[in-house]
């Protein structure tokens, strides 16, 4: 067994692991849905349905993210000993992903609010109120922001997944395993 892995301080606790995998699936799903609905689907009706699905699940994911951030930063502050540059980079990447997720959800909500077509976000039969008044230019701006953040996040996620696989298959350490059990 690799010595370094043994000296790693702690396991991720069960809520952190659970929240990690729930949001990993959720985010990859929203990402695929977002890319497909915007770029691939050409039938107006289906496209409309997918947009509403994306908005509802995107908004709902905001609640999951709040729980996750609360757990991570308030109830479960891990003490991290500095284990070098790559480890720092990993932590920075984790925090950046969380930050981009927050801004992505916020920008998605803002897109919806600025739209001149009144289509509220639906969550369990509840219409999320709009806090901004319709504005075509602002909507375009918000879409660009949402688009750029989504692609930046996608890049970080790919690096993140690549790193996890690198740990598992090349370094053969327990980084991936400890996120699993």
Q: What is the smallest separation between the CB atom of 50 and ligand HEM, expressed in angstroms?
A: 10
| All residues at 6 or more sequence positions from 31 whose CB lies less than 8 Å from its CB, including other chains | 150, 153, 154, 157
Binds 90, which of ligand HEM, another protein, none (CB < 5 to 8 A, cut-off by type)? ligand HEM
How far does the chain reach from its first CA to its final CA, in angstroms?
17
Among 25, 36, 92, 136, binds another protein (CB under 8 A): 136
Site for another protein contains 56 (CB under 8 A)? no
Nearer to another protein, 43 or 131 (CB): 43
Site for ligand HEM contains 145 (CB under 6 A)? no
> By three-state DSSP, how is residue 13 classified?
coil
Among 6, 7, 9, 44, binds another protein (CB under 8 A): 44
Structure tokens at 175: 């980084």
* 9, 168 contact by CB (below 8 A): no
Binds 24, which of another protein, ligand HEM, none (CB < 5 to 8 A, cut-off by type)? ligand HEM
| Maximum alpha-carbon separation in the chain | 60
- Per-position x/- string for 99-128, each x denoting binding to another protein as judged by CB under 8 A, each - no binding: -----------------xxxx---------
Nearest residue to 72 (alpha-carbon basis) of 101, 48, 35, 40: 101
Residue 75: its H or E element:
none
Site for ligand HEM contains 38 (CB under 6 A)? yes
Sign of CA dihedral 22, 27, 30, 33: negative
What are 128's strand-pairing partners?
121
Residues near ligand HEM, by CB under 6 A: 16, 20, 23-24, 27-28, 30-31, 34-35, 38-39, 51, 54-55, 58-59, 61, 72, 90, 94, 97-98, 101, 104-105, 108-109, 111-112, 121, 143, 146-147, 150, 157, 160-161, 164, 175-176, 178-179
């Amino acid at each position: 067994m690799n010595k370094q892995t043994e000296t790693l301080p702690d396991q991720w606790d069960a809520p952190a692991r659970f929240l990690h995998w729930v949001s990993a699936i959720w985010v990859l799903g929203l990402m695929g849905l977002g890319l497909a609905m915007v770029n691939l689907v050409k039938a107006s009706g289906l496209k409309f349905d997918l947009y509403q699905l994306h908005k509802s699940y995107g908004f709902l994911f905001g609640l999951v993210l709040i729980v996750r951030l609360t757990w991570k930063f308030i109830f479960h502050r891990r003490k991290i000993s500095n284990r070098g540059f790559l480890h720092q980079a990993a932590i920075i990447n984790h925090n950046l992903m969380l930050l981009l997720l927050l801004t992505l959800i916020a920008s998605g909500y803002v897109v919806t609010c600025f739209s001149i077509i009144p289509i509220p976000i639906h969550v369990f039969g509840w219409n999320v109120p709009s806090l901004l008044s319709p504005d075509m230019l602002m909507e375009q701006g918000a879409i660009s922001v949402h688009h750029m953040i989504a692609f930046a996040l996608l890049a970080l996620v790919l690096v993140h997944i690549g790193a996890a696989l690198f740990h598992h298959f090349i370094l053969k350490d327990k980084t991936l395993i400890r996120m699993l059990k």
